[in-house]
């Protein structure tokens, strides 16, 4: 009788690596945050800001950018459209300026 060998073609109880869609979403979030944080709101006068992510192929526009302060922290609230290979959807977001001078995402939610 021959010794049975382990079948390595079957994977059980595995945890998949981060999906490409999750990586794309994080990359698009960062691209939108950068566009929101660098927008000159006075020059925009309420106009939408186009954005595009060359890494993912996603694009869209950002609208309704409003600036406010909460407990002394400068923040910007916005709405954005995302056109990607997964379809078209809207997000609402909130990004704030940290004490280190870097903008960070406080909220990024699909609506």
CB 28 within 8 Å of CB 88: no
The pLDDT confidence band at residue 9, using thresholds 50, 70 and 90, is: confident
Kind and range of the H or E run holding 41: helix 41-44
Percent of the chain whose predicted confidence (pLDDT) is above 90: 73
Domain boundaries, the chain: 21-110
Span 12-44, pLDDT tens digits: 666 555 555 556 678 999 999 999 999 999 999
């Amino acid at each position: 009788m021959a010794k049975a060998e382990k079948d390595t073609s079957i994977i059980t109880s595995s945890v998949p690596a981060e999906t490409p869609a999750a990586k794309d979403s994080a990359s698009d979030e960062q691209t939108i945050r950068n566009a929101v944080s660098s927008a000159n709101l006075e020059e925009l006068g309420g106009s939408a800001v186009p954005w595009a992510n060359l890494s993912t192929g996603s694009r869209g526009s950002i609208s309704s950018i409003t600036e406010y302060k909460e407990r002394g922290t400068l923040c910007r609230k916005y709405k954005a459209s995302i056109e990607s290979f997964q379809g078209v959807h809207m997000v609402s977001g909130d990004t704030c300026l940290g004490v280190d001078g870097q903008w960070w995402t406080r909220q990024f939610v699909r609506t």
